[in-house]
Amino acid sequence: MKDLKCGLKSCRYNKGYSCCSDEISVDSGTDCRTFSPDPNKRGNLFEAGEEFVPADYSVDTAVACTAECVFNKQEKCVANGITVMSEGEQDAVCLTFMRR
Ligand code: SF4
């Protein structure tokens, strides 16, 4: 999956709100388990440069998932794209989840 949008800019795999990890894992509660804060990004949060990192949708990320979702086929996500977000300091959650 190349269209993997993610709002967690502090994650080491996030490039311009796109996920560039080779693989991610989403759990049964739809939380992204691959989220990994990058200590080097924290200090840059308020620098203009960080805001304008271009999105990189070239990485074909494999999404393993155990949520009871219509896009879950044998523990793999088959959606064309997903969006991951977090509210405040809470976990990263898959917003594309649709209960089956
Ligand atoms: S869309 Fe559904 S199957 Fe795909 S990662 Fe999100 S919760 Fe899992």
Is residue 100, in this structure, part of any structural domain at all?
no
**Long-range contacts of 39-48, Cβ-Cβ distance < 8 Å, separation of 24 or more:** 41/9, 41/10, 41/12, 42/10, 45/9, 45/10
Number of domains in the chain: 1
* Structural domain contains residue 77: yes
Whether 80 maps to a domain, the answer reads yes
Q: What pLDDT score was predicted for residue 30? A: 97
Place 41 in a pLDDT band, splitting at 50, 70 and 90. confident
Stronger pLDDT, 91 or 13, i.e. the higher one: 13
| Enclosing domain of residue 27 | 3-94
Dist. CA 19–CA 27, nearest whole Å? 17
Within a domain: 73:
yes
Residue 40 burial (CB count, 10 A)? 8
Instruction: Tell me the residue ranges of DSSP E strands in 10-52.
Output: 14-15, 18-19, 23-26
The atom of ligand 1 lying closest to the CA of 76 is 3
The total number of residues shown for the chain amounts to 100
State the closest ligand 1 atom to the C-alpha of 30, by its place in the atom list counted from 1: 7
Residue of 69, 75, 76, 98 best suited for mutating to test ligand 1, as the one with most atoms within 8 Å of CB: 69
pLDDT of 50 reads 55
CA of 43 to the centre of ligand 1 (A): 31
Task: For residue 22, tell me if it sits in a domain.
Answer: yes
